[in-house]
């Protein structure tokens, strides 16, 4: 019995370390192609239309949750979710590599074709991530108990984010040192390497066999009706569902902060590295808060704090219209964006895992992610609002959504599950 206990502890530590490495590599990779910094600026060098900036951001955000209820109907009855993750990880790495090479070797073609082909490849990369999302979340839920997930996410971001800060300065150097578009090609190529290392690390986690397995695959319509039933009967699930929608409306403005600051505050393109480092630093620092809140108080406290902080970026950017602002002011906005985004990343999925019964976890995760996915298409609307009205109307919507999000966050009260993996 003692040997079995020691073996279980060793396996848990091994999985824990691989889980941390997965996050470290992913955060480094994301620093080179961040959806709120490098990616929108890259698209903005191809086209002046803010619609396409919003479109690419929407593809990145919506492709993760949108297919998951469909995948859940295919995956829930399977004992192991890991094989699907591995297949999609390979597809994502190949797609990102092709994007990098495409930027390097096909820069002489028309910008319209360049943009169309980039969007297609980026969609494949993103949708593969969404398909693997159920596997990722199910494995996280089975391997790591709720009172250890906060520290897991904290270490992932703490180490990876610290290296991401350094990566931000490296991004600035590459953009200044190399000509366009080779400078962006280098950034995407570096991101490809670290993304691949992240996928490989997660693939090394040993997935435990489920105690309860659905005997056979259920029809998609069964999953939808079951999800609607959960939304009606499970009060915490309903509040979390509505909170996620509000936070999704708030974050539709995220890719446009850097565009607004570049156009209205006169920053140079090479300065983007400073914004990457500052946003990443905000995410790192906030882990001291979010991680402790998650472990000690629960993920509903993380979401309450996140909703409060999410008020500040749109409020400050609106105030910049009447104030004389400096580079420090703009960087502080991105610091707060880092705090907000990290709170969302840590709070929402962990809260969802906390309220999800093990045997129904794919249904809970899939229904939540897919049914809230439409709000992630809002950056497209945000781009159109900017093109035809103004930046200000977008930031006002973002601010109002934060206020409503805080209301639903205050209605959450989620019990934490005790640790089992180390007994």
Region 264-280 average pLDDT: 76
pLDDT, residue 420, reads 44
265, 330 contact by CB (below 8 A): yes
In the structure encoding, which two tokens stand for residue 320, read together?
């910049």
> Would you call the peptide bond into 181 cis, given omega within 30 degrees of 0 as the criterion?
yes
CA distance 255 to 187: 18
Q: Which tokens belong to 219?
A: 């029809």
* Higher-confidence position of 259 and 71: 259
Of the candidate ranges 117-131, 163-177, 183-197, the one whose mean pLDDT is the lowest = 163-177
Distance CA 243, CA 390 (A): 26
The DSSP line for 163-212 is: HHHHHHHHHHHHHHHS-TTHHHHHHHHHHHHHHHHHHHHHHTSPPPPPSS
Q: Please, which pLDDT band fits residue 345 given cuts at 50, 70 and 90?
A: confident
Following CA atoms 292, 294, 296, 300 in sequence, which dihedral angle do they give, to the nearest 10 degrees?
Answer: 130
Q: Give yes or no for residue 300 having a pLDDT over 50.
A: yes
Tokens read off for 329: 């002011």
Is the pLDDT reported for residue 423 higher than 50? Answer: no
Place of tokens 């990443």: 280
As given in the structure block, the two tokens for residue 72 are 């859940």
pLDDT of residue 32: 84
- 316 pLDDT exceeds 70? yes
If you average pLDDT over residues 25-52, what whole number do you get?
A: 79
Is 108 a residue whose pLDDT tops 80? Answer: no
Q: What percent of the chain has pLDDT over 70?
A: 82
> Does the pLDDT of residue 94 top 50, yes or no?
yes
Architecture of domain 2-205+220-410: Up-down Bundle (1.20)
Assess contact for 288 and 319: CB atoms under 8 A. no
Say how far apart CA 272 and CA 277 lie, in whole Å: 9
Of 151 and 395, the structure prediction assigns the larger pLDDT to 395
- CA 191 → CA 32, 34, 246, 276, 409, distances in Å? 6, 10, 30, 14, 34
The better pLDDT of the pair 14, 217 is held by 14
- Asked if residue 302 lies in contact with residue 346, where contact means CB atoms within 8 angstroms, the answer is yes
């Amino acid at each position: 019995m003692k040997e079995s206990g020691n073996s279980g502890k060793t396996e848990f530590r091994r999985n824990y370390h691989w889980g941390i490495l997965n996050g470290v590599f992913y955060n480094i990779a994301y620093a080179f192609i961040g959806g709120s910094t490098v990616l929108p600026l890259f698209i903005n060098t191809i086209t002046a239309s803010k619609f396409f900036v919003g479109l690419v951001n929407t593809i990145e955000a919506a492709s993760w949750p949108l297919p998951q209820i469909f995948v859940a109907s295919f995956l829930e009855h399977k004992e192991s979710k890991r094989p699907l993750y591995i297949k999609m990880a390979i597809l994502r790495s190949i797609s990102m590599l092709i994007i990098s090479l495409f930027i390097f070797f096909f820069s002489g073609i028309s910008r319209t074709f360049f943009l169309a082909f980039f969007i297609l490849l980026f969609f494949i990369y993103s949708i593969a991530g969404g398909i693997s999302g159920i596997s990722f979340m199910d494995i996280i839920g089975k391997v790591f108990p709720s009172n250890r997930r906060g520290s897991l996410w904290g270490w992932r971001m703490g180490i990876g984010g610290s290296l991401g800060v350094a990566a931000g300065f490296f991004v600035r150097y590459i953009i200044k040192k190399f000509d366009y578009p080779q400078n962006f090609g280098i950034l995407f190529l570096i991101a490809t390497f670290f993304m691949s290392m992240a996928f490989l690390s997660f693939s090394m986690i040993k997935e435990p066999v489920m105690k309860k397995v659905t005997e056979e695959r259920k029809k998609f319509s069964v999953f939808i009706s079951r999800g609607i039933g959960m939304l009606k009967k499970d009060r915490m699930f309903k509040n979390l569902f509505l909170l996620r929608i509000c936070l999704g409306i708030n974050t539709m403005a995220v890719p446009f902060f850097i565009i607004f600051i570049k156009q209205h505050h006169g920053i140079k393109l090479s300065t983007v590295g400073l914004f990457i480092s500052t946003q990443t630093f905000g995410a790192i620092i906030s882990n001291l808060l979010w991680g402790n809140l998650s472990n000690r108080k629960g993920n509903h406290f993380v979401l309450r704090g996140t909703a409060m902080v999410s008020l500040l970026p749109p409020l400050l950017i609106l105030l910049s219209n009447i104030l004389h602002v400096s580079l420090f002011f703009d960087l502080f906005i991105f610091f707060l964006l880092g705090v907000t985004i990290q709170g969302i990343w840590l709070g929402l999925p962990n809260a969802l895992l906390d309220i999800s019964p093990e045997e129904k976890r794919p249904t809970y995760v899939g229904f939540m992610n897919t049914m809230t996915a439409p709000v992630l298409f809002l950056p497209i609307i945000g781009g159109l609002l900017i093109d035809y009205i103004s930046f200000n109307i977008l930031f006002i919507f973002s601010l109002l959504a934060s206020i409503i999000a805080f209301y639903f966050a205050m209605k959450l009260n989620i019990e934490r599950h005790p640790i089992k993996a180390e007994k």
